[in-house]
Amino acid sequence: MTAPIRNRATMRPPARLPQIVSSEVPEPHVLILLAVRNGARHLAAQLDSIAAQEHRRWSLLVSDDGSDDESRQILAAFARCGHDVTVLEGPCLGPAENFMSLFRRAAPFLTPGSFIATCDQDDVWFPSRLRFGVERLQGIAADHPAMVFHKTLITDEALQNPRPSAPRPRKPGFRNALVQNIAAGNTILLNAGASALVCSAAAEPDCVVMHDWWSYLIVTGAGGTALQDDRPVLFYRQHGRNEVGANDGLRARLRRVSMVYAGTFRAWNDINLQALTRSAHRLTPEHRATLALFAAARRGGLGARFAALWRARLYRQSGFSTLALWVAASFRRL
pLDDT of residue 26: 76
Element containing residue 152 per DSSP (H, E) = strand 146-155
For residue 29, give the nearest of 195, 222, 161 by alpha carbon.
Answer: 195
Per-residue CA distances from 145 to 142, 192, 224 (Å): 7, 7, 5
Instruction: Please enumerate, as own/partner, the contacts of 73-77 that have beta carbons within 8 Å and a separation of 24 or more.
Output: 74/40, 74/43, 74/44, 74/47, 75/5, 75/36, 75/43, 75/47, 76/5
Q: Is the pLDDT of residue 268 over 90?
A: yes
- In this prediction, residue 11 carries a pLDDT of 33
- For 228, residues 6+ apart whose C-beta sits below 8 A from its C-beta are 148, 149, 150, 168, 171, 172, 182
Task: Report, as an integer, the average pLDDT of 187-216.
Answer: 98
**Could you tell me what percent of the chain has a pLDDT over 90?**
84
What number is the average pLDDT over the span 268-285? 98
Task: Please give the average per-residue pLDDT across 138-145, as a whole number.
Answer: 96
The upper half-sphere exposure of residue 73, i.e. CA atoms within 13 Å in the direction of its Cβ, equals: 5
Instruction: Give me the mean pLDDT over the 42-65 stretch.
Output: 98
Confidence of residue 292 (pLDDT cuts 50, 70, 90): very high
Average pLDDT for 221-236: 98
pTM score: 0.89
d(C-alpha 256, C-alpha 292), whole Å: 25
Which among 116, 189, 96 has a CA at the least distance from the CA of 149? 189
Instruction: Give pLDDT, residue 25.
Output: 58
Q: What's the mean pLDDT when you consider all of the chain?
A: 90
* Per-residue pLDDT, 240: 60
Question: Where does the pLDDT of residue 160 fall: very low under 50, low under 70, confident under 90, or very high at 90 and above?
Answer: very high
CA distance 259 to 192: 36
**Res 187 pLDDT > 50:** yes
Average of pLDDT values for 120-127?
98
| Res 252: pLDDT | 61
Cα angle value 54/57/59 (rounded, 5°): 115
Query: Does 93 have pLDDT greater than 50?
Result: yes
Name the more confident of 178 and 16. Answer: 178
**pLDDT over 50 at 114, yes or no:** yes
Predicted confidence band of residue 13 (pLDDT cuts 50, 70, 90): very low
Confidence at residue 22, expressed as pLDDT on a 0 to 100 scale: 41
Secondary structure class of 9 (helix, strand, coil): helix
**pLDDT attached to residue 263:** 86
